[in-house]
Structure 1
Amino acid sequence: MIGHAGYRMRNGARDVDMAAATGVTIREVKTRRDRKTFVDLPFRLYRDDPNWIPPLKSEALGLITPEKNGWFSHAKAQLFLAEQDGHVVGRISAHIDTLALTMPADRGFGPGVGQWGLMEAEREDVFTALLARAEAWLRAEGMNRALGPISMSVWEEPGLLIQGYDHPPTVMMGHAKPEYRGWIEAAGYAPVKQLLTYDLDITNEFPPIVQRIITSGEKNPRIRIREVDKSKFEEEAAIILAILNDAWSDNWGFVPLTPPEIKDVGVKLKPIVFNDLIRIAELDGRPVAFMITLPDLNEAIAPLNGSLLPFGWAKLLLWLRKPRVRTMRVPLMGVVKELQASRMASQLAFMMIEYIRRASVAKYGASRSEIGWILDDNQGMRSIAQAIRCEVNKVYQVYERTL
């Protein structure tokens, strides 16, 4: 029979019937020019959306170029473009992370689980055609379940924005058209996990009970909250990574970061790493927790429209020397597993948040922070966010479907 948007249903799988796909053709991205076309599409689709932040095109190209993205050392991907009447009308990536295949099946990934992401389309029929083609590629690679959108690593931009369209995303967070949610669900996908970000007014002190916890920690000789030393970048990164891999190892969607990825992340983030915005908590001289905060780079790149030329690079360099921002983003926090769910874990978290809050306001002029993403079932982190009077400002949703 013929299914939605002109698709032929065969044995429960959707294969593209090109003749019935209303003139839309789907082709593989093969050349450098194709990759550039892939990157350019959102600039047209979102040009009238005031809350979309144009990424730097060089960064977007690096994400999908195997030679420039360490994630490809343990993953493979195929990109697709949808065309109609000589115009590009959509795009998608289908990818398989070999490390994700080795993860426990009850934590999101596992054997037979592929992903898709970087999805953009003008219309629902184009969207459905692209999704079907991505699924066909995953099925041909032996996958039996699809998760998406994940663009492209879980450490990059996982999930579809389903709440919070009315304000721009912060650095390293995604944006999407509201209609995408309905299109994905109409294609047979069901929600599997939500990722939350929290908005925090950092111009005000935290509630008295939190302040008392912080003061108590400051009197405890076992606790030391220190700034990182950017001059020892690799050494400090190794400490944070060790805590991260331990703290997050039981989380849904966890895939350990590999040395090539860490190297790439270091190159990308080092310009916006500032000593007083990243803290490591030590207990009896041992690093047991960390918190990373980044000035919202999106505020600086938004006017550049994706290009550093002719003078964008100079403006960005000037900003990086002494960033003044409205918003800070906390992309990562972690406490070693042995302390999780303890009062000590909460105390260390409150202390790190408070010290960074003070620096953010006094030195960088920030007035708000965005914390997350946080998994919807991470009750420990959600309780900390609620204790300091955070409010959920964006929700991202990951979907799944049996292939």
Structure 2
Amino acid sequence: MITIKQVHTKKEFKAFVKFPFSLYKDSKYWVPPIISQEIKTFDKNENPVFNDADAYFFLAYKGEEIVGRVAAIINWLEVKNQGEKKMRFGWFDYIDDLDVSKALLDKVTEIGKQNNLEYTEGPVGFSNLDKVGVLTEGFDVLGTMITWYNHPYYVTHLEKLNYRPEKEWIESRFPFSNINPESFTKANTLIKKRYQVSVRNFTHTKDVMPYADEMFDLFNTSYASLASFVEITDIQKAYFKKKFISFINPEYIKFVFDKDDKMIAFAILMPSFAKVLQEIGGKLFPFGFLKLLKAKKESKDIIFYLIGIAPEYQNKGITAIIFNECYETLKDKNIENCIRTPELADNIAIQQIWKHFDPEIIKRRKTFRKEIE
């Protein structure tokens, strides 16, 4: 007998966040979230996304034991402004029991019906800066703090419940030794001169902050054409600055400006925290915070988190400037491996940017969709 209960109390939210810790306790590849930060993500008083979104959180029980969870999400900016009548679902985890996954998704569908939505899609988060997709390949590769991991049976469940693939993302990596600076150094000099652009580098996080809002504006414009993009609102910017930028070594943030001092491109790289997060088990105290700070400075694996270029400067070689700046920094840090975050499989333009580095695809992930009848 499966019982589905909606999450309301602090105790229940903590159980919601901690369920995967038991589900993946024997996994070498699952990377736990920071528990306190994950709970804040679901707090309407902390996360401004709730100004434009509704979310319902559910736990599945067999008797007294938690056996699954799901978040049912409606992003009203997406529904009203884009006319995309989508019921999102995310944070979707469950034991290998089809009755459990079905009961959870039935709850998602029920909420979609109540709000006159047309289809469900997931796993996705609230916005494009959240995690996305169920892993379909790469189960034996260590995850990252910005992606979900899952058991192989997740895909089987979705297929048996008549969900069909909607979008696909790929993740890849390449050793730093693959980077041949000759592929961009000459172009870097020429492009800077041709378009009269300049680069700004940083050593202190406080120096990054005055430019953060402009960066998020550029993120909105440079990613607007991608499927299912939902813009970051002004009120969300402060939240994301606090949530993300504190985890990034400021030396890994690169901004490019035109002759009028307008930002036209950015790159954000992150140290890999995966191994440290496994070690601290999602807890910042008593020593987790210090270990994260150490990894922030010393990790030899780097994640290319976000690159954005203003539409009018795309296909004009600006990536040569970004790669040149990143290369110089990563060389000084003795970085060994470069990891790319999920990129849409049909985004050929972004894949062409990386071809000189001979990346290896290490993971694939998909979202799944089902019409609401």
Measured in 1, the distance between the counterparts of 2:72 and 2:26 equals: 28
Equivalences for residues 332-371 of structure 1 within 5 A: 332-340=306-314, 342=315, 344=316, 347-363=317-333, 365-371=334-340
Match of 1:16 in 2: none
Match of 1:146 in 2: 120
Q: Post-superposition shift, 1:99?
A: 0.7
Match of 2:209 in 1: 234
Residue 256 in structure 1 maps to residue 231 in structure 2: yes
Measured in 2, the distance between the counterparts of 1:197 and 1:281 equals: 25
Q: Post-superposition shift, 1:233?
A: 3.5
Equivalences for residues 136-175 of structure 1 within 5 A: 136-175=110-149
Q: Post-superposition shift, 1:218?
A: 5.5
Q: Say if 1:210 and 1:388, in contact at 8 Å, map to a contact too.
A: no
Match of 1:246 in 2: 221
Q: Say if 1:361 and 1:367, in contact at 8 Å, map to a contact too.
A: no
Aligned-partner SS, 2:139: coil
Equivalences for residues 4-403 of structure 1 within 5 A: 23-104=1-82, 110-122=83-95, 123-206=97-180, 208-217=182-191, 220=194, 222-228=196-202, 230-285=205-260, 286-320=262-296, 323-340=297-314, 342=315, 344=316, 347-363=317-333, 365-403=334-372
Measured in 2, the distance between the counterparts of 1:278 and 1:317 equals: 17
C-alpha spacing 1:350/1:124, structure 2 compared with 1 (3 Å): farther
Aligned-partner SS, 2:199: strand
**CA offset digits 1:102-138 (Å, max 9, x no partner):** 344xxxxx34211011111112221111111111122
Measured in 1, the distance between the counterparts of 2:207 and 2:200 equals: 14
- Measured on the aligned residues, the alpha-carbon RMSD in Å equals 2.0
Q: Say if 2:87 and 2:108, in contact at 8 Å, map to a contact too.
A: no
Aligned-partner SS, 1:401: strand
Q: Say if 2:255 and 2:266, in contact at 8 Å, map to a contact too.
A: yes
Q: Post-superposition shift, 1:361?
A: 3.4
**CA offset digits 1:206-245 (Å, max 9, x no partner):** 2744444335335557132221463343321122112111
Q: How many equivalent residue pairs?
A: 369
**CA offset digits 1:174-224 (Å, max 9, x no partner):** 211111011112111111111222212113432744444335335557132
C-alpha spacing 1:331/1:317, structure 2 compared with 1 (3 Å): closer
Measured in 2, the distance between the counterparts of 1:350 and 1:66 equals: 41
Greater shift in the superposed pair: 213-222 or 282-291: 213-222
Measured in 1, the distance between the counterparts of 2:166 and 2:341 equals: 18
Q: Post-superposition shift, 1:146?
A: 0.9
For structure 2, the 5+ residue unaligned runs are none
Q: TM-score, normalised by structure 1?
A: 0.86
